[in-house]
Amino acid sequence: MTVARGLRELEAYGYLRRTRERTASNRWVTRTVAYDMPRDLTPPVPEPVPEPTSPAKISAAPAPPPPVLPEPDQPGLTRHRTASELLVGLRSYDARLMLSERAIRRLAPAVCAWLERGVEPVAVQRALVDGLPAAPLRFPAGLIGHRLAELRPPPLPAGEIPPGFDPLQNCERCERAFRAAEPGRCGSCVGPQDDGRASGGVDRGSGGERVAQLRALLRGGSGGRRRSGTAP
């Protein structure tokens, strides 16, 4: 016990080192190394190994804030309905632009801001669907909102109407917006029973009378031909 205790003390003070090793013949032996000067017993501190950067950490950058959508100066029910129908119809141009009802309610005021500045609905659609990326669209509503916020044209001068376009009018029957020089009804609401007022205040009441006159003339002419054919 005294020898074993002495060896442990020498080992504790750094004068002795004992390690177990396996030989080539697969046997375990104890190797003892003695030192004239005590060795440093402080274990070396391993250098920190840098952690590999995973793809998840690389893509964990904070997402940019959503764009601030424009708002119309004078909200209107007719213009808002036109904007909602425009957004719903985007999926007919590209199936990837299928928007939810919540997204349409959020984006409709921004479309109204475009229409308020004299931009035609067809021009708004073209600005939203032209040049779409070929890659799958994960957030179509975000893309549409970005274009509505960044591509909105400046307002026209006060009192100026775009060249080649009549001002917007509200249909007297369905209250939908259409362009015409004078108030009246849109083309979908004009029928034979109406007083002939179509978009732009064009009077078409004489069209029915003219058709009736032509039919009467044709019936009279056909009767005369039959009578002349039966004469002896």
The residue with greater pLDDT, 172 or 191, is: 172
Q: Which amino acid is it at 203?
A: D
CB atoms within 10 A of CB 203: 10
The secondary structure of 122-175 as a DSSP string is HHHHHHHHTT--SS--S-HHHHHHHHHHHSPPPPPPTT---TT-PPEEE-TTT-
Residue 110's alpha-carbon distances to 12, 102, 104, 158, 188, in angstroms, are 80, 14, 10, 21, 27
- The percent of residues in the chain predicted with pLDDT above 90, rounded, is 21
Question: Would the pLDDT of 110 be above 90?
Answer: yes
The model's confidence at residue 27, banded by pLDDT at 50, 70 and 90, is confident
Q: Where does the pLDDT of residue 85 fall: very low under 50, low under 70, confident under 90, or very high at 90 and above? A: very high
The 10s digit of each residue's pLDDT in 32-79 is 887 777 776 555 556 676 766 555 555 555 656 777 899 988 888 889
